[in-house]
Chains A and B, each alone.
Chain A
């Protein structure tokens, strides 16, 4: 909880980001890292309180070895992310 500047002290500025819409909520998908170790963040920002951000950290899908050995997990992660919702 806090403004963007505080948020960026906890999570680095990503190398790549894009905005998705999941269940009607805008979510920023961020990638940081390189090569075989890329961390993916899904940042959900609350509409009710913009200082509240819920971050799902995926240290699996773009970690080459983990993803190659467990493709079923890679396939499940976006499904899990797709169940996220803010409850007013």
Chain B
């Protein structure tokens, strides 16, 4: 027996030695991928970035179905302005570059930082600055010098004094504003004092027969209707969007191209206008109500010109919920109060509620949830109110609270 054990031990050592002496398996060289992201500002004043990957290695790259490429554009304050994802990467011959995605959108003047790459292969960061110069947008390094009047010279003959340029309403930056109120929407905001309202709509323009527009619309959103579908124009393409936070509500801002009617010859419909829509949704007296503040212009240059007016509208917008005629329908409703988690909820008099059994769970997960169902006495269970508690920090629910949702 002892001999057999010694033999097994020697055999084991021999196998280990063989493994140690075996020729190492040749691993394929790691791919050398370089990320490239040239940025341009095109004739339509749109910021364009092409996302590419170059195979800088000597071997062909076989592709990666779990590439996980990510692109982000952030402004100087770090806010995300655009993002894109590229899931897979196709094969790339040695030395070749493949172009995967082109992103384009309108960016206001300012500094931006673009990051493009993938966790597995690294990232490249590109800094870009957009500047407004002589009425147009440029990348900072391509911007022409600003047109500056020469300083007066006391040694030269006095120059002929040109009359100051007459600013038309469409190019002048408004300096005076007036407050407009729309009681039926519960909204008020400021509009340039000299602008004309195109009644009966809540739309304003610098002057009659001008295509520049600042407008406001609102609608009640029924349960199946989404905000964008209800308020954004038809026949339009969204080119950029970003979150929007106002003091009285949050939403999203969209920049889009609105298309006209396509010609009978089958050509692509022309871009009729470019617009910025700031959409906000609020709950007003039990209804979901969507609000749309927008700027519209025939060209991107003109849109950039009136964007400060839309910014002023949004900065000054204030919401006062319109009064609902008649008495408050919820005034006499029973109220569920939860003193542990500090909330309350009212429900119709002909509804009732039923507690749910508390659910336990593992540490690290939501350890328990407690709650109840609210439902009309004649129906099922349309609304379920739940609150979650973690057992490490609190018991699932320490006992019944009078009139409240109770745990088991």
Interface residues of A, Cβ cutoff 8 Å to B: 1-2, 6-7, 9-10, 16, 18-22, 26-27, 40, 44, 46, 48, 51-62, 66-67, 70, 73-74, 76-88
Contacts and interface: CB of A to CB of B under 8 A. Distances in A.
Given A27-B283, A40-B223, 18 more contacts: A6-B364, A7-B366, A10-B388, A20-B282, A21-B283, A54-B385, A57-B384, A59-B382, A62-B224, A73-B379, A73-B382, A77-B383, A78-B283, A80-B348, A83-B335, A83-B345, A87-B339, A88-B342
Contacts of A85: 343-345
27 contacts: A2-B388, A6-B365, A7-B388, A9-B365, A10-B366, A16-B226, A18-B281, A19-B250, A20-B281, A21-B282, A26-B250, A46-B343, A54-B385, A56-B345, A56-B385, A58-B382, A62-B224, A73-B382, A78-B286, A78-B288, A80-B345, A80-B383, A83-B333, A83-B344, A85-B343, A85-B345, A87-B342
Interface of B: 223-224, 226-227, 248-251, 281-283, 285-288, 329-330, 333, 335, 337, 339, 341-348, 364-366, 369, 374, 376, 379-390, 393-394
Contacts of B384: 56-57, 59
Contacts of A70: 379
Contacts of B250: 19, 21, 26
B343 A1 contact: no
B342 A86 contact: yes
A88 B376 CA distance: 29
Contacts of B333: 83
A57 B388 CA distance: 13
A87 B344 contact: yes
A26 B335 CA distance: 21
Contacts of A80: 345-348, 374, 383
Nearest to A58: B383
A66 B375 CA distance: 13
A44 B288 contact: no
A60 B383 contact: yes
A86 B380 contact: no
A61 B345 contact: no
A54 B288 contact: no
B44 to A, nearest CB: 31
Given A48-B342, A86-B342, A60 B249 contact: no
A38 to B, nearest CB: 9
